[in-house]
Amino acid sequence: MTALAGRPHLMETEHFEEAARIFARLDKGARLEFIDGKIRSKAVPDGDHGRIVEWLTRICRQARPELRLCPDQGLKVQKCREGRARPDGELAPGGVFVGQSEWADPDPVLMTVEVTAYDSDTDRRDRVEKPRVYAETGIPLYLLVDREARQVAVHSEPDDGRYENVRTVRYGKKIHLPDPVGITLDTEQLKEWVH
């Protein structure tokens, strides 16, 4: 079954959802996505990855207590909502995912977050596909914590399948997450969680 997740296949959304449910029962660490009609697998997060998401969760909760950074909530993505993505985190008003299925409506999401993995798909997945997919979906911000490059990128102003504005800083500098988030991150601590 692992070989299936590593190779792109064309299929319909409902068939992917069924395959993802079966795969998750067989392999508890499996995290499958469905982008451009193809199955993609995400690496199982390591401890530093989890610590970065925890750090960001704390900052968001302190700065904007009405919002929640939800880890691993599946989202319906792309223009026609035929894709399925599982960001490392989604910043949205508290409680918006209550009662939704494994693949939620992305409209209330203010920002998606991805933390790069140390795998061969990171470049294509997190630096190319995800910004395009989240922009197509209309999600206002995409935050990429890039452990390999030791930098943080904030993508904003989605328009016609791309983010018009991308701001990048090296670890150790501050970066502002513009409206609708309105939080400034001090990235100094990220230096502790890279290889």
The tens digit of pLDDT for each residue in 69-110 reads 998 799 999 988 889 999 999 999 999 999 988 899 999 999
The pLDDT, as a whole number, for residue 11 is: 59
Element (H, E) at 29: none
Q: How many domains are contained in the chain? A: 1
Coil, helix or strand for 134?
A: helix
Return the pLDDT at 121: 78
Structural domain boundaries, residue 109? 45-193
For residue 9, tell me if it sits in a domain: no
Q: Is the pLDDT confidence value at 7 over 60?
A: no
Phi, psi of 159, deg, nearest 5: -155, 120
Strand partners, 146: 151
At 34, is the pLDDT very low, low, confident or very high (cuts 50, 70, 90)?
A: confident
- Structural domain includes residue 16: no
- Residue 13 in any domain: the answer is no
Please report whether residue 152 resides in a domain: yes
pLDDT for residue 160 is more than 50: yes
* Alpha-carbon gap, residue 194 to 168, rounded angstroms: 17
Bigger pLDDT: 168 vs 13: 168
The reply to whether 36 falls in a domain is no
Predicted confidence at residue 24, as pLDDT, reads 61
pLDDT at 20: 66
What distance in Å separates the CA atoms of residue 190 and residue 195, rounded to the nearest whole number?
A: 11
Closest CA to 31 of 84, 77, 109, 81: 84
Query: Is residue 30 assigned to a domain?
Result: no
**Is the residue at 164 inside a domain?**
yes
d(CA 85, CA 142): 13
Residue 69 within any structural domain of the chain: yes
What's 99's domain CATH number?
3.90.1570.10
Question: Against a cut of 0.95, is the pTM above it?
Answer: no
